[in-house]
Amino acid sequence: MASSSGPGHPSGPDPGSVLCDKCRESVLQPSQKTENISYGDRISRVLKEWHLSPPMWPVGYIIGSSYSPFRVEQELPKRDWRNAFEDLLTLESGGEMISHESRKQEKTVATKLNWERAYHCIEKLNKLNARDAPTFALVQKALNAAKSSGHETNPAIVSWLDRKAREAREMAQRRVALAEAFKAREAARREWSASRHKDRGQWMASLITSGALSGWRSRLKDSQDGDLIDLWNESVAEDRASISITELELRELFEDSKPLEIGSPGPPLYKVSPPPPAVPDDDDQILDKNSPFQPPPDEPAIMSTVPERPCFWEQITAAERITLPTGKMATKVIMKNYLTNGDVEEKVMVQEPGKVLEEVEKARALIQDRMFGFDRPI
């Protein structure tokens, strides 16, 4: 579920403080004019008010407005609304419109990366089918023998073999269909701009690295539902401008009209726990083992579920405007990759949209491999 939680602190609207535009009553409290409105509709009002509030501009507008580029591009797909909106934001932030050459370079990188990703997935799917082929052949051979004349095989065994053979055949067919879908999708997106190649949450985060979202930061995390995007504005007091949302939620919102809900996103893929308490220096002091340890509010969390090998945990991205020696303004991107073994990889890029896209796609590929099960040896 979409959450108003920022990086480590509860935030977002107080549901009881959002008032109905007409009756000026809390949208969650029954009144003569709102008592017949369902709780779900009241929650929707809270989210709409919050998304369109000034502190949430422009992220809330992109998610909640009827004129969001995500909605307009569905009605008028031949125009590149994302690039147009990004240019407007860049001008509003005091920057210059993104050059045609820069967009062309990023598109070349995006097309290359997406085709490489598609062929990587197709290769994995073919390997899975090749791995399972001997087992399928053995099951099919046993089934044929059980059904042949002269064999009085237990009907339950025949039924079990028949089910196993059918399941293996259907799995192989699904993998082939998925491989074909990967190829068809990339062929259909061949002429798309780099912005259209990006998933919705990924594109919103890329507004930070292009310099269009001044003061905002992003975090890409691996969750049970795949890519989880955190966006927050550090320039807004009380951490009121922040949101956590998955690519799945965004796809369901704009393609299936499934409304967002207030609450925390699904459980993280890697659970965190506080570090064990330190042994007191005073030998006479006795630790109460039954009392739960409460870490300081800002204490860094450590992994309680650590994979066998280091893998991607999260990627945090920030950007700032700098002045080059030539006197021109440029966008400096600071990107940090956090791994499950505690390692941190930091990369700094200046005016390199293609390189930034490559780094983001590397992290997203690790998440997608985990989702498909491609991170395990075949």
Residue 330's φ and ψ, nearest 5 degrees, are: -145, 165
Least confident of 50-54, 219-223, 230-234: 50-54
Does the structure show a pLDDT above 60 at 275? no
**Helix 353-372 crosses helix 100-147 at what angle (to 10 degrees)?**
20
Contacts of 310 (CB under 8 A, 6+ apart): 339, 340, 341, 343
Q: Does residue 27 carry a pLDDT above 60?
A: no
Tens of pLDDT, residues 226-272: 899 999 998 876 666 889 999 999 999 999 998 887 654 544 454 44
Choice among 35-44, 124-133, 157-166, 369-378 with the minimum mean pLDDT = 35-44
Which residues lie below 8 Å from residue 190, measured CB to CB, with a gap of 6+?
A: 111
Q: By mean pLDDT, which of 26-35, 56-65, 164-173, 312-321 is the weakest?
A: 26-35
Q: Tens of pLDDT along 86-111? A: 999 999 988 888 888 889 989 999 99
End-to-end, the C-alpha distance of the chain in Å comes to 33
Q: What percent of the chain has pLDDT over 70?
A: 75
Phi, psi dihedrals of residue 303, rounded to the nearest 5°: -75, 135
Is residue 217 pLDDT above 90, yes or no? yes
Query: What is the spatial distance between Cα 178 and Cα 173, in angstroms, rounded to a whole number?
Result: 9
pLDDT at residue 37 is higher than 60: yes
Please say if the pLDDT value at position 53 is more than 60: yes
- Mean pLDDT across the chain, nearest whole number? 79
H helix intervals, the chain: 39-51, 59-64, 69-75, 81-92, 100-147, 155-188, 194-197, 200-209, 247-255, 353-372
**67 three-state secondary structure:** coil
Q: What pLDDT band is residue 301 in, cutting at 50, 70 and 90? A: very low
**Which pLDDT belongs to residue 23?**
53
Q: In the structure encoding, which two tokens stand for residue 317, read together?
A: 């991205």
Distances in Å between the Cα of 270 and the Cα atoms of 41, 313, 363 are 33, 8, 16
Is the pLDDT at 367 greater than 50? The verdict is yes
Domain-wise residue ranges, the chain: 103-188
Tokens encoding 4: 């108003």
Q: Residues 311-345: pLDDT tens digits?
A: 788 999 999 989 989 988 889 999 999 988 888 99
Model-wide pTM > 0.85: no
Per-residue pLDDT for 295 more than 60? no
The most confident of the ranges 13-17, 39-43, 239-243 is: 239-243
Find the mean pLDDT for residues 147-156: 79
Q: What is the mean pLDDT of residues 47-61?
A: 88
